[in-house]
Amino acid sequence: MSEETNQGQGDDLKDKAKKMAGEASEKANEFADDVKESAKEFSESAKEEWNKVTNSTDNKKMLAGLLAIFLGSLGIHKFILGYQKEGIIMLVVGVVGWFLCGIPSMLVWAVGVIEGIIYLTKSDEEFYNTYQAGRKPWF
């Protein structure tokens, strides 16, 4: 009788183990599905953010280029791109140069026009990589 009892308990343990293994498998599949869904949501949000970045670089490129051509001696295009130090240098040289004799102001204006043309002739990706991601302040 004790052998039959032990065998019966062993069968019960095997059944419980199979049941627990099945439940663990179900939980693992649910977890995998959740991870896949989270990864898909992350991927979609990353694509949305990338689209925002690439669309905003086009606007910054156009704005910075036009400001550089028309108001290059004031350095406003540098401030738009986040180059405060370079913008202040252009602003000071442009304003002080205008009061002194005009030549420094014209040189800074020429730099602005050249930079504006360079900005507008670059592709969106090239502009972003060079001036926003690469942080190249001059030309």
How far is the C-alpha of 126 from the C-alpha of 121, rounded, in Å? 10
In the chain, % of residues over pLDDT 70: 83
Q: Does residue 8 have a pLDDT over 90?
A: no
Reply yes or no on whether the pLDDT at 41 is more than 70.
Answer: yes
Instruction: Output the pLDDT for position 84.
Output: 92
What is the SS3 assignment for 1?
Answer: coil
Local confidence band at 59 (pLDDT 50, 70, 90 cut-offs): low
Q: Residue 66's pLDDT band (boundaries 50, 70, 90)?
A: very high
Q: What mean pLDDT comes out for the span 20-49?
A: 78
Q: Calculate the alpha carbon distances from 117 to 72, 99, 131, 134 in Å.
A: 11, 27, 14, 19
